[in-house]
Structures are given as structure tokens and as C-alpha cells.
Chains A and B, each alone.
Chain A
Amino acid sequence: MSGGVDSSVAAALLLEQGHEVVGVTMRLWGGDSDTGCCSVSDVDDARRVAQQLGIDHLVFNFTEDFHRNVVEPYINDHAIGITPNPCIECNRHLKFDRLHERGIVLGFDAVATGHHARVVQEDGVWKLVRGHDMAKDQSYVVHMMDQHQLSRTLFPVGEMTKTVVREHATRLGMRTANKPDSQDVCFITSAKDADGRSGRVSFIGRRIPLNPAVVVDESGNELGSVESVELVTLGQRRGVAGGGGTKRFVVDIDVPGRKVVVGPESMLMVDHEIVENVIWSNEPHVGPARVQCSAHGEPRSAVLSVDDAGRVVATWTEPQRRISPGQSAVFYDADDRYVLGGGLVTRSVQMSTQ
């Protein structure tokens, strides 16, 4: 229970279904925070909802695990020019590993969360199906579960639209009914620091040195500069376009060389991506699939195959913009209904050919 409306209603629904329920809030971050599931006021909300529902509420201190598996990799990835998704790593290492493990030790049958996704069993196979509310579908961020994990996971609000979730919370008189959705990385504040830096820049800048870099075009002509090469993302347009009215995108980031290369969209286009550390929901899948590369990104058609090194190759039906290294590519069935598996784009295809 993050203290948000979705997990509040999830707990209520489980009770309505007759389950024995205990509310758990994971304490993940000890530093400043103003969003997500880490602040004391959010824990207060979760506890008050649990009290209202008449269930026990526990707080598990997973700050060390969170630091080791989410915060440190987040920082280290930025240092080498990779843009990670900490929410996915938190789900992978905390919610569906550490918390699952804890649940087993304490004798619970399942872990339920407020994610908008569905777990269904079809022909003896557990499937992670997109949430009923496509606008809020979160199957992408919880894609990393295998059969065992899926068999012990419940997403009670996955059959509801967000509107219905809020209506349900209002009907129950929950204090979280109108709480805004959390948007950003939970351990980074939205407030600017004393030097006027954004929360993200400040958070990373306090942990690793941030270095300025030159921005050049594809022919090497210097167009300008950026303050921090570590914070530039492949495909980014803002702040690196230079003048002249041409649409320019970041097409290469050379962190040690302190250089950012920008170019036209055509330079970003590739016909395939390589995905590593893939976790399959059930069996490995080759053949047609839909591939989603960001939390609310449009799924694209591709054909999946496995290369000699055992990596998954997603060959696009039509050329697509390159995916920034560190992002997750999640494979769905050809009808775009359920998750087949997913993994990390660990390096840019084009960079490896340079």
C-alpha cells in the first residue's frame, strides 16, 4: 500500500472478495522525497486506509535493498550515459522479489498491488494481461514476472478504469480518493535545490561529477554545449537542437569524450533492437510480437528471434527510432493483449557498429 488510491482500493476489493488481508508499505528511501511511496505522509495515508478497512498495516524497511538494487544502479548508469528506469528495477527487485520472499516466509499466499494489469490463468499458463483501462495500463512496468511470481500475484484494480477506482474509493469514504497519481521517480524531489538545479540534476550531481560536453552535428561541426553529458538521453531533442530550425536529435553520447552528437531523425532509425537479460513470462517466444519500449509508449510490430549469443533480436516491421540504452523492451503477443516477456536494451544498435 503506497498510500495512493489504487492500492487503497485494491485492499478493499480483496476484503470484499473474502481474502484475509494485511496491508504492507515498503519503506524504500530515507532521504528527501515528495512523491511516490516513500514519504511519511504517504505511509500515514496507507495506515489510515488500512485502519478504516480494519486490517493490520505493517511497514517493512527495505531501504538497504532499495539503495543497492535501485538507487546505486540508477547513479552508475547515468555515469556511463545510460538512462535507466528505476520504477522497473524497484518492481523487479523489491515488489516482486523481496516482498514476495517476505510474504512466503510469513505464510501469505499472494502479494497484491494496485497496478493496472491483470493476471489470468489460461490453459494452465499464467498470463500477465494488459489492464482494462488502456490509458492506465501498467503491464509494462511489472513485466518481469515468471510463472511462479505470476501465480502468487494479484492486481485487484486491473479490471477497473481509473475513474471507477476513484469512484469506489469515494464511495468507501477513503482519504486517498482524490489523491493525484504519482508521476516521478519516488526518491527524487520536484523542488529545485539551492543552486536552482532540478531535483534530478541535483540528486545525481551530488553523487557523481557532472561534466559539460560539446554538441556536434554528424559531420563534427560544433553546434553548442550541454552542462552535463551524463544527463543526456539518446533521442533527446530539448536543449541540444542548436539553431537553424532543423529538428535535431541526440544520436550518440560519448561520455568519456565529453561529446554529444546530434542529427536528423533519419539517423535515429533502425530496423532492429537487441534485448538482453530477458525474462519470459512462460516459454521463450520467437515470431511476430508487439514491442513496447516506454511506460506509455505505443507498441510496435516486430518479429522476435534469438541470436547466436542468446540475445533476443526484435526486428521491426517498419524502421523505428532507436531505444535509449537502459530502457526496457517488453514483448506482447501479436494481438497486444498479454506480456510474453521483456528485457533491457543495454546498448544502442547503431553505436555498436561505429
Chain B
Amino acid sequence: MRPEAVEAMLPFMTEVFANPSGSHRFARQARKSIDEARDVIADAIGCKPGEIVFTGCGTESDNTAITGVIRRTPGVAVCSATEHHAVLHCVEHANGVVVNVNHIGTVDLEALQAVLSPEVTSVSVMAVNNETGAITDMAAVSKMVRRYAPQAILHTDAVQAACWIDLRTIWPLVDTMALSAHKFGGPKGVGILVVREGKYFEPIVLGGGQERDRRSGTHNVGGIVAAAEALRMTDVERNSEVARISALRDKLFAGLLAIEGAHRTIPAENSVPGVVHVCLQGIESESLLYLLDEADVCASAASACASGAMEPSHVLAAMGLTSDLTMGALRLSLGHTTTEADIDRAIEAITEAVNRIRAVQNRRSL
């Protein structure tokens, strides 16, 4: 977490502990903190404060935006094949349509057009892919959805976009947008769903009617306040961070692509600077990740299942990459704490680990 966000959060575990839905003075104090946080967040998104719904996580925001919309306005749900499972599983659950992607793993516009119709009531296209960092052309998607599925509520999972793309450029293009605080230096357990005024959904969490009946449940006051502070700082520093991290990203890629059989998954111009994704031909990710962990380099390959095992990436599969490449998927994230020394260390550790795996493989195949 960003230190400013931690600091903002601490008083809510000690001094200000009241439930903001109460009516006494302490409750009003908590209520004020939430109202102010909402204003700060609205400012960073370019939306109205009333358009913000606080949820428990990014997944809940996505679920609400799809399942909630389909319940309110029955019809066909559509999403792209490389969406986060929080979107994909909702659309599949609603017997919706999953649209193919192009070579960079973002929605194929021709394929999208082909499935859009007046019967479509929910379309979800992620702003930035969580595995590869690929950026979707949301303006083109928006234009197409408005034209061919005028009834549809257009949702975007912007969880991975917040650090790198000005949210004010995405929000005007869509009707609902999901964010998650821990992706921009806030705490885990705070999600944001932005819902355009005049667009409606059935709440999926029922109860005391908090968040104007859109999401019940006692507010996570400290978490919301910290999320606001984190998003504010992210917004202030975004331009300089994008420049700084882009340079580090380029250096990391240069180092990794010097490894034999390393393939860059997404071209630089199509991806956010915070994600470096390569496929290392013939290298098993599980082995690589173990060796990197031993060398104090923490990386991932794809998402993990309930048992903790790595699952083959549905994103890379949808992009049509061969298993020879996808088995060697490696995803590295860069953020506000990343330094140039980290990059040097990662390049060295990854090169060494790959060499070691290949040496054993060559010896065994003799």
C-alpha cells in the first residue's frame, strides 16, 4: 500500500470506529469521511460522486455490473474471451456470448459487431488485460456498441488501468466501470463500481440498503478513505510514473528478449508499462517460478486455482498461442516501488534460471 493510504486508514481502526449508517455524532463523523472519499474518487474518475458505489472487491463490482444488469434487463450478455474470470464466469453463467480476440488479445471488433444486436443488454470489455497488459481501444468498442446494441449497458473492467491510464478518458465511453483499490496502492477489500446516472441494475447484495440501495452492507470506512487517498496520489503522479516505469519496462524487455527463445507477448505500443509478459519457449513456468522465488524474484505465470496450482492461461489460449509458448508464460509487474536495481536483478535471475533449466534438459535428453 502507499504509505499515505496506510496513514489515512489507521485512525479508522482506533479513534473513528463508528458505523456510518448510525445517527449519533461518531456515526456522522464516519459518514463525512465516506462522503469526502467519494468526492475525491469522483474527481479522479471524472464522474459524479453519486455515480460511485463502494463494493467489497473488483470481482463484486464486475459481478454487479453484469449479473445485476442482466437481472434488471433480461437479454444477451456479451464479453471478450480474455476478460478476467470475474467477468467471464458471469457472462458464461448467463449463457452469454464470448467474443474472440485479435493477436494482441483484445476484443476483435469485427467479431464483436457480428454478435451485437438490440437483444444484447450487457457488453463487457476490459480496458487493460490483467495478464498481458494489453490495452483495448475502448473508443472504438464504445462507438460500435452504441451503434449496434443501443440497449446495452457497456461495462469495462478497468482494474488494471487505474495506474496507467487517466480514468477520465475511459469513463465517458462506458456506462459502468469496475476498480479495485489494492491495484492502485489502496487496501484489499475495497472495490468501486461506477454506474452512470440513469443506468440501473438489480443489486446482488441485499440488506440494509447502503449505497442508495445499490449495495448493502456496512461500509469499510477506513478502507474507503485509504482507497480515495491512494487513487488521488495515483492520479497526481500518473504522468511521471508512466514515463519512469516505461523506461524500466523497456530495459526489462531488452534484457529478457536477449534470452534465447523469449517472445514478447504484446507490442509495447499496445500495453501498459506496468506489465511485462514474455513466453519462454520450452520452459515450464512452474519450474521457472520456483527458481525465481529462490532468487527472491516474485513473478507469476497465469491465475492460480483453488488448490494453489497454476492454471493454463485462458488469455494466451484465446490469443491462439501454441502450448510450446504458453507453457513458458512469465508475467512480471512493475509499480510505484520498482527501481532500476530491481530490473537488473530480475534480468540476471531470469537468465540464470532459464539457463539452468535448459542445461538440465539438455543433459537429460543426451
**Which residues of A are interface residues toward B (Cβ below 8 A)?**
25, 27, 30, 40, 43, 47, 58-61, 63, 101-102, 104-107
Q: Determine whether B212 belongs to the interface, using a CB cutoff of 8 Å to chain A.
A: no
Q: Are B361 and A27 in contact (CB under 8 A)?
A: no
Q: Are A105 and B361 in contact (CB under 8 A)?
A: yes
16 A–B contacts from the bound complex (CB under 8 Å): A27-B305, A27-B307, A43-B307, A47-B308, A58-B290, A59-B308, A59-B309, A61-B305, A61-B310, A61-B311, A102-B286, A105-B284, A105-B356, A105-B360, A106-B290, A107-B356
Q: Given the complex, which residues of B lie within 8 Å of A105, measured CB to CB?
A: 284, 287, 356-357, 360-361
Q: Which B residue sits closest to A56, measured CB to CB? A: B293
Chain B 294-314 interface mask (CB, 8 Å, partner A; 1/0): 000000000001111111100
Beyond A58-B290, A61-B286, is A104–B364 a contact (Cβ under 8 Å)? Answer: yes
Q: Given the complex, which residues of B lie within 8 Å of A102, measured CB to CB?
A: 284, 286-287
Q: Determine whether B291 belongs to the interface, using a CB cutoff of 8 Å to chain A.
A: yes
Residue from B286, B291, B357, B360 within 8 A of A60 (CB atoms): B286
Q: Shortest Cβ distance from B366 into chain A, in angstroms?
A: 14
CA distance A106 to B284 in the complex (A): 11
Q: Given the complex, which residues of B lie within 8 Å of A101, measured CB to CB?
A: 364
Q: Shortest Cβ distance from A100 into chain B, in angstroms?
A: 11
CA distance A30 to B311 in the complex (A): 10
Q: Given the complex, which residues of B lie within 8 Å of A59, measured CB to CB?
A: 307-309
Q: Given the complex, which residues of B lie within 8 Å of A25, measured CB to CB?
A: 307
CA distance A58 to B291 in the complex (A): 12
Chain B 346-366 interface mask (CB, 8 Å, partner A; 1/0): 000000000011001100100
Beyond A104-B364, A106-B287, is A27–B309 a contact (Cβ under 8 Å)? Answer: yes
CA distance A59 to B309 in the complex (A): 5
Q: Given the complex, which residues of B lie within 8 Å of A58, measured CB to CB?
A: 286, 290
Which of the listed residues B306, B307, B356 has the most CB atoms from chain A within 10 Å of its own CB? Answer: B307
Q: Given the complex, which residues of B lie within 8 Å of A104, measured CB to CB?
A: 360, 364
Q: Given the complex, which residues of B lie within 8 Å of A63, measured CB to CB?
A: 309
Q: Given the complex, which residues of B lie within 8 Å of A60, measured CB to CB?
A: 286, 309
Q: Which A residue sits closest to B310, measured CB to CB? A: A61
Q: Shortest Cβ distance from B186 into chain A, in angstroms?
A: 28
Which of the listed residues B286, B310, B361, B364 has the most CB atoms from chain A within 10 Å of its own CB? Answer: B286
* In the complex, chain B residues 45-67 whose Cβ is within 8 Å of any chain A Cβ: none
Known contacts A59-B307, A61-B305, A104-B364, then 4 further A-B pairs from the complex at CB < 8 Å, ordered by chain A residue: A30-B305, A61-B311, A61-B312, A104-B360
Q: Are B286 and A40 in contact (CB under 8 A)?
A: no
Q: Given the complex, which residues of A lie within 8 Å of B306, measured CB to CB?
A: 40
CA distance A30 to B357 in the complex (A): 27
CA distance A61 to B360 in the complex (A): 20
CA distance A104 to B357 in the complex (A): 9
Q: Shortest Cβ distance from A96 into chain B, in angstroms?
A: 15
CA distance A288 to B127 in the complex (A): 72
Chain B 260-290 interface mask (CB, 8 Å, partner A; 1/0): 0000000000000000000000001011001
Q: Given the complex, which residues of A lie within 8 Å of B361, measured CB to CB?
A: 105
CA distance A105 to B290 in the complex (A): 10
CA distance A101 to B305 in the complex (A): 23
Chain B 311-329 interface mask (CB, 8 Å, partner A; 1/0): 1100000000000000000
CA distance A104 to B365 in the complex (A): 13
Q: Given the complex, which residues of B lie within 8 Å of A30, measured CB to CB?
A: 305
CA distance A60 to B306 in the complex (A): 13
Q: Given the complex, which residues of B lie within 8 Å of A43, measured CB to CB?
A: 307-308
CA distance A105 to B288 in the complex (A): 9
Q: Are A61 and B357 in contact (CB under 8 A)?
A: no
Q: Are A106 and B291 in contact (CB under 8 A)?
A: yes
CA distance A326 to B229 in the complex (A): 66
